[in-house]
Amino acid sequence: MKKTRAIVITGNGTNCEMEAAHACRLGGFDEVVIAHIAEILSGEVRLDDFHFLNLTGGFLDGDDLGSAKAQANRLKHAGVAGSGEKLVEQFSRFISAGKLILGVCNGFQLMVKMGMLPGFDGDYLAQSVTLTHNDCGRFQDRWTYLKCDPASPSVFTAGIGKGIYLPVRHGEGKFLCDTAETLERIESGHLAVLKYSGPDYAEATMEFPANPNGAQNAVAALCDPSGRLMGLMPHPEAFVHYTQHPRWTREQLPEQGDGLMLYKNAAEYVRNNLV
């Protein structure tokens, strides 16, 4: 059997690449590569050689023009040296091949501004949603309860149960749709994978600080109809072990953090479907 391979893209202001790579390894991937975007644009590294693409958190291009907007333009229009193709063609092939993409925080912002999410009708280059400034007007760094939609097609959240507990750290995390029709398609398709909630995971909430940014319909995560592409504002790579929990010295916790399940599900999907 071929090895399962994950890639984490770094550069131009991203961070969390080491944590994301570690989460992929803990999740079960055989090989994990951290690649600078310059290596991909130069042709030294090709997305075609991997099964799982990670777009991490950070402050791409200093959030100039808005979070991830400059990188979205770069990836949609930049050419790959010596190949005669644009980088966006590699992204399109990656998606068409049935592979997985996970965007976290700044990576989620990048996915929506490239148009990869929600990916209606197989169109992964048309933007219809965005992530913008938090309603509170300031950066939020806190832990959040996230209600999971059991009917979601997301590969990453399969078997998670009622909800998970993850940290957020962002200034532009408010989810918004361009039209009411877009929101309706997201809700009816169960594409709003995770929603901000209270600790019982019973109902989504618009109340601050449980909903730290004022996201429309409390949306914290979004997937495409195939469930293979997903973006979320909370950081799953920041809770893969119980010692990362804010109350780990005061509570009896399982060794595995809530976020690790997303990476385990990704590795299992790749093993069963792509290698």
Write down all domains in the chain, each with its CATH number in brackets: 5-273 (3.40.50.880)
Can 237 be counted among the known catalytic residues?
yes
Can 24 be counted among the known catalytic residues?
no
148, 177, 223, 235: the catalytic one is: 235
CA distances from 272 to 2, 32, 98, 229, 242 (A): 11, 18, 12, 17, 28
Can 245 be counted among the known catalytic residues?
no
Stated pTM of the model: 0.97
Q: Which two tokens stand for residue 38?
A: 């310059």
In tens digits, the chain (275 residues) has pLDDT values of 799 999 999 999 999 999 999 999 999 999 999 999 999 999 999 999 999 999 999 998 788 777 888 888 888 889 999 888 999 999 999 999 999 999 999 999 999 999 999 999 999 999 999 999 999 999 999 999 999 999 999 999 999 999 999 999 999 999 999 999 999 999 999 999 999 999 999 999 999 999 999 999 999 999 999 999 999 999 999 999 999 999 999 999 999 999 999 999 999 999 999 99
Residue ranges in 65-153 assigned as alpha helix (H) = 69-77, 87-96, 106-114
19, 170, 237, 245: the catalytic one is: 237
Q: Which two tokens stand for residue 23?
A: 């989460």
17, 19, 24, 105: the catalytic one is: 105
> Alpha-carbon distance 246 to 236, whole Å?
14
Angle ∠(103,195,138) on CA atoms, nearest 5: 75
Helix axes 69-77, 106-114, angle to 10 degrees: 50
Angle ∠(129,183,90) on CA atoms, nearest 5: 40
